[in-house]
Structure 1
Amino acid sequence: MTVRVMLISPAMNSALREARFAGDAPLDESGLRPARAAAASGSVPVADQWLRGPSRRCRDTAEALGLRTGAEHALRDWEMGRWSGARLSEVSADEPDGVAAWLADPAAAPHGGESLLELCARVGRWLDSLHGDGPGRVVGVVEPAVIRAAVVHALALPPLAFWRLDVAPLTVTELSGRSGRWNLRCGRPLVAEEPVR
Structure 2
Amino acid sequence: MTIRLMLLCAPVPSGRETRFADGPLDERAVQQARAAAGALPATGVRYTAPSQRCRQTAQALGWDAAVEPALCDIGVGSWHGRTLDEVAASDPAGLAAWMTHPGAAPHGGETVADVCTRVAAWLDTLQGESGPVTAVVEQAVTRAAVVSVLGAPHASFWRIDIPPLTAVHFTGRAGRWNLRLGAAMSAGA
- Distance in 1 between the 2:113 and 2:162 partners? 19
Q: Is the 8 A contact 2:2 2:130 kept in 1?
A: no
Structure 2 vs 1, CA of residues 186 and 12 (structure 1 numbering), >3 Å: closer, same or farther? farther
TM-score, structure 2 normalization: 0.90
Deviation at 1:157, TM superposition (A): 0.6
Deviates more, 1:73-82 or 1:30-39: 30-39
- Distance in 1 between the 2:138 and 2:182 partners? 13
| Counterpart residue number, 2:25 | 27
TM-score, structure 1 normalization: 0.87
Q: Choose which of 15, 34, 37 in structure 2 pairs with 1:36.
A: 34
Q: Deviations over 1:135-174 (max 9, x none)?
A: 4211000001000000100110111111111111111101
- Distance in 2 between the 1:6 and 1:142 partners? 10
| Counterpart residue number, 1:143 | 138
Structure 1 segments unaligned to the other structure (5+ residues)? 189-197
- Asked whether 1:108 is paired with 2:104, we answer yes
Deviation at 1:187, TM superposition (A): 7.9
Deviation at 1:94, TM superposition (A): 0.1
Q: What is the letter of the counterpart of residue 38 of structure 1?
A: A
| Counterpart residue number, 2:176 | 181
- Distance in 1 between the 2:141 and 2:113 partners? 12
- Distance in 2 between the 1:64 and 1:187 partners? 25
- Asked whether 1:82 is paired with 2:81, we answer no
Tell me the matched-pair count.
183
Q: Choose which of 130, 133, 140 in structure 1 pairs with 2:126.
A: 130
Structure 2 vs 1, CA of residues 179 and 52 (structure 1 numbering), >3 Å: closer, same or farther? farther
Q: What is the letter of the counterpart of residue 160 of structure 1?
A: A
Structure 2 vs 1, CA of residues 11 and 139 (structure 1 numbering), >3 Å: closer, same or farther? same
Q: Is the 8 A contact 1:173 1:187 kept in 2?
A: no
Structure 2 segments unaligned to the other structure (5+ residues)? 184-189
Structure 1 runs (4+) deviating above 4 angstroms are none
- Distance in 2 between the 1:138 and 1:14 partners? 29
- Distance in 1 between the 2:131 and 2:9 partners? 20
- Distance in 1 between the 2:148 and 2:106 partners? 23
Q: Deviations over 1:79-126 (max 9, x none)?
A: 111111210110010001101111111000000110000000000000
Deviation at 1:186, TM superposition (A): 4.5
Q: What is the letter of the counterpart of residue 10 of structure 1?
A: A
Alpha-carbon RMSD:
1.8
- Distance in 1 between the 2:182 and 2:79 partners? 28
Q: Is the 8 A contact 1:12 1:27 kept in 2?
A: yes
- Distance in 1 between the 2:157 and 2:62 partners? 30
Deviation at 1:30, TM superposition (A): 1.8
Deviation at 1:12, TM superposition (A): 2.0
Deviates more, 1:143-152 or 1:46-55: 46-55
- 3-state secondary structure, aligned to 2:170: strand
